[in-house]
């Protein structure tokens, strides 16, 4: 299930350690990137420590739209790759999928799940601008 996205500003307690990012701010003292940094995006949309003020969000609407398109294209590409892998997944005599192919299927499906979340978070953010 995908959690609801909300635009968050920072609290007075966080103000001492807010770090400016290309888009928005990080409210994690350690900047530990618990969700993993994604260089394709200017904002850490998927991170619980990411914050952005409404005026900055509105000023960057075109950038967010561009990043939504990038995320959608990546999702389409991974989906196509997973479909192609699935088409190659003939069962052997024992009724099993080749172990290397099985590993590739698992890896691609995990990547697909992450990309679905990326698209949904950026889409929610973009919808706030309409």
Question: Which residue, chain included where needed, has tokens 């698209």?
Answer: 119
Q: How does the average pLDDT of the chain come out, rounded? A: 81
Name the band, by pLDDT with cuts 50, 70 and 90, for residue 51.
Answer: confident
The string over 85-104, giving b where at least 16 C-beta atoms fall within 10 Å of a residue's C-beta and e elsewhere, is beeeeeeeeeeebeeeeeeb
3-state secondary structure of 119: helix
Q: What single string gives the DSSP state of each residue in 38-99? A: -TT-SS-TT-TTEE--HHHHHHTHHHHHHHHHHHHHHHHHHHHHHHHHHHT--B-TTS-B-H
Give domain limits for the chain: 15-127
pTM: 0.76
Question: What pLDDT is stored for residue 42 in this prediction?
Answer: 76
**Residue with the larger pLDDT of the pair 99 and 78:** 78
Mean pLDDT across 63-68: 92
Question: What pLDDT is stored for residue 68 in this prediction?
Answer: 94
Question: What pLDDT is stored for residue 1 in this prediction?
Answer: 39
Do the beta carbons of residue 54 and residue 48 sit within 8 Å? no
- Percent pLDDT > 70 in the chain is 79
Question: What pLDDT is stored for residue 85 in this prediction?
Answer: 87
Q: Does the CA dihedral 129-24-28-34 come out positive or negative?
A: positive
Mean pLDDT across 85-106: 81
């Amino acid at each position: 299930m995908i959690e609801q996205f909300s635009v968050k500003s920072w609290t007075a307690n966080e103000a001492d350690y807010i770090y400016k990012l290309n888009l928005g701010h990080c409210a994690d003292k350690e900047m530990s990137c618990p969700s993993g940094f994604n260089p394709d995006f200017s904002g850490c949309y998927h991170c619980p420590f990411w914050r952005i003020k409404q005026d900055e969000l509105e000023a960057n609407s075109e950038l967010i739209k561009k990043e939504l398109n990038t995320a959608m294209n990546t999702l389409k590409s991974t989906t196509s790759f997973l479909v192609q892998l699935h088409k190659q997944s003939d069962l052997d005599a024992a009724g099993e999928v080749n172990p290397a192919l099985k590993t590739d299927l698992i890896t691609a499906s995990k990547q697909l799940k992450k990309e679905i979340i990326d698209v949904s978070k950026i889409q929610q953010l973009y919808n706030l601008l309409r």
